[in-house]
């Protein structure tokens, strides 16, 4: 009987100890560190490559017969971009300069009748060496940035004429002309360090260079039968790779 009492007392003591331990606060497990959101602030420089679909509507105002023609000088393009931007919460505001050229001579023969009022000639037009400058406004989603852009654009409008029978060139000249552009894109920060980041992007742009009057050197640079009014628009899609310096964080 005495042994039973001792066992009963021991069991009661163990139960009390367990209850007391259950009342003690449980120490929380250490939490894993949370990565800071990506910061798009910085200066960047990079290259781009893509394809451009251009349309050039040409009118010969001093000629007779057929005087309106369409040219489509489509081509691959490549160039570079440079910009600076700053991020507030999710909003990213910056400004960018961009230049691109064509991979080859993209002069395109017009239609109808080879693009010339005189059916014995072939007439071509093209556009090259385009640069743009303007603001970018974006919305950051950590490593991703969605943005719109627009501003001033300028390009080199080229035209030439040559005889079909002999191939002799009558005109071969160009003129720079300004206009506007608008577009949108998406970028992804795929590589990050304390000082430099790598950014991949995909962008679409529409460019409108307006109408430029081209006075033929063959006419002495005067308004005459070979004068052309060329309206140029273009659409492009390109991939971008930029390196951003984190100098303002």
Residues written for the chain: 249
**80-94 pLDDT, tens digit each:** 999 999 999 999 999
What average pLDDT does this structure show over 96-106? 92
CATH of the domain at 90: 2.40.160
Residue 16 forms part of a structural domain? no
| Domain extent for 88 | 41-245
Model-wide pTM > 0.75:
yes
Confirm whether 161 is domain-assigned.
yes
Ordered DSSP codes for 159-224: EEEEETTT--EEEEEEEEEEEEEEEEEEEEEEEE-SSEEEEEEEEEEEEEEEEEEE--GGGTTSSS
58 found inside a domain: yes
The answer to the question of residue 124 being in a domain is yes
pLDDT for the residue numbered 159: 96
Does residue 228 fall inside a structural domain? yes
Element (H, E) at 102: strand 91-102
Give yes or no for a contact between 179 and 210, defined as CB atoms under 8 angstroms apart.
yes
Q: Please, what is the average pLDDT of the chain?
A: 89
| Structural domain includes residue 169 | yes
**Amino acid 193: pLDDT:** 93
pLDDT for residue 17 is more than 90: no
């Amino acid at each position: 009987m005495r042994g039973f009492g001792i066992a009963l007392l021991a069991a009661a003591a163990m139960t009390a100890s367990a209850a007391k331990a259950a009342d003690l606060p449980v120490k929380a497990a250490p939490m894993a560190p949370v990565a800071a959101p990506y910061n798009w602030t910085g200066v960047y420089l990079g290259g781009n490559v893509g394809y451009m679909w251009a349309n050039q509507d040409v009118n010969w105002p001093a000629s007779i017969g057929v005087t309106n023609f369409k040219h489509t000088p489509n081509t691959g393009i490549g160039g570079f971009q440079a910009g600076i931007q700053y991020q507030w919460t999710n909003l990213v505001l910056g400004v960018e300069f961009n230049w691109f050229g064509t991979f080859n001579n993209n002069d395109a023969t017009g239609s109808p009748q080879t693009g010339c009022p005189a059916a014995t000639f072939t007439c071509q037009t093209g556009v090259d060496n385009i640069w743009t400058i303007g603001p970018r406004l974006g919305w950051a989603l950590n490593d991703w940035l969605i943005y719109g852009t627009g501003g001033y654009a300028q390009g080199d409008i080229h035209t030439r004429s040559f005889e079909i029978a002999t191939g002799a060139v009558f005109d071969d000249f160009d003129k720079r002309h300004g206009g506007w552009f608008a577009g949108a894109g998406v970028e992804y920060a795929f590589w990050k360090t304390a000082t430099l980041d790598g950014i991949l992007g995909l962008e679409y742009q529409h460019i409108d260079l307006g109408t430029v009057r081209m006075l033929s050197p063959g006419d002495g640079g005067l308004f005459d039968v070979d004068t052309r009014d060329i309206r140029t628009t273009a659409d492009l899609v390109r991939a971008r790779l930029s390196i951003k310096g984190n100098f303002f964080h």
